[in-house]
Amino acid sequence: MRAISTFYVEKNQINDKNITVIGDDVNHIKNVLRHRIGDKIDICDNEGSRYFTEVESFFDDRIILHILGKTSVTTEMKTCVTLYQGLPKADKLDLIVQKCTELGVAEIVPVITDRVIVKINDSNRVNKVERWKKIASEAAKQSGRQKIPVVQDIQKLENVVENLSKYDIVIVPYENECEHTLKTELRALNGNNQNIAVVIGPEGGFSDKDIEVLVRNSNVRLVSLGKRILRTETAGIATVAMIMYEYEL
């Protein structure tokens, strides 16, 4: 029995009887997955609903799916987690995007902090962000999510801190923090429908200036992730996993 494929559409592609698939998904459904009339396909509207459909008809530029049923039983975490990731070297962010998508993150923002050594220019930034968006979409499909995490453009830390006040809490795992831990800060939050930001430093960690800029926000909490120093790609994944453990399992 073949696993049922999941695709994501905009609301305006859905009416009360059927769903119209357009764009790259047409070729993927028709020629890569080689679906036929009558095959079952799951469709998510990126707003939390999942539609059970079957292929009704093929056209050159679109596919019509007949809606068999709908559910709003979600695979999304109640807690909304945004990961601000200090831009790491090489293709580490590919792994971070994939694993944090599986773990339920809602948004990923690549951030230039003091010790980021990756050189970004207008030509490579577009390609990088497009690649990360594709990885997020594929990981969302594989893990059966109802929403594809939003991958934002690469931003500077000083521009990011202006928006941190919108979160209930901003968790900053800081390698020099000795007193507070992730556990104590998460336990201090009552209830679990929280809007949480996580800020992870790059390979070189946070500079004193990064921390000074971050702690200007009263909702920022510096936390330790334990006695060992985790790689930057481990720290974000581990932190999102522990938030998932605390609020979802």
Question: Would you tell me which residues interact with ligand SAM (CB under 6 A)?
Answer: 173-175, 177, 200-201, 203-206, 224-226, 228-232, 235
Q: Which is nearer to ligand SAM, 56 or 177 (CB)?
A: 177
Contact indicator for 198, 173 with CB cutoff of 8 Å: yes
Least Å from the CB of residue 88 to ligand SAM? 9
Q: Which is nearer to ligand SAM, 155 or 224 (CB)?
A: 224
Distances, alpha carbon 149 to alpha carbons 28, 57, 79, 84, 110, in Å: 21, 30, 13, 13, 13
Whole-angstrom distance, CA of residue 135 vs CA of residue 227? 32
Q: Which is nearer to ligand SAM, 148 or 220 (CB)?
A: 220
Least Å from the CB of residue 233 to ligand SAM? 9
User: What's the one-letter identity of residue 168?
Assistant: D
Least Å from the CB of residue 138 to ligand SAM? 26
Q: Which is nearer to ligand SAM, 117 or 229 (CB)?
A: 229
Q: Which is nearer to ligand SAM, 74 or 224 (CB)?
A: 224
Least Å from the CB of residue 223 to ligand SAM? 6
Least Å from the CB of residue 65 to ligand SAM? 44
Token pair 């396909």 is found at 41
Task: Using CB positions, name the residue nearest to ligand SAM.
Answer: 201
Cα 140–chain centre separation = 8
Whole-angstrom distance, CA of residue 100 vs CA of residue 236? 8
- Beta strands 80-86 and 50-58: pairing type? unpaired
Nearest to 152 by CA among 163, 141, 142, 143: 163
Distance separating the N- and C-terminal Cα atoms of the chain: 29
Q: Which is nearer to ligand SAM, 23 or 204 (CB)?
A: 204
Least Å from the CB of residue 157 to ligand SAM? 12
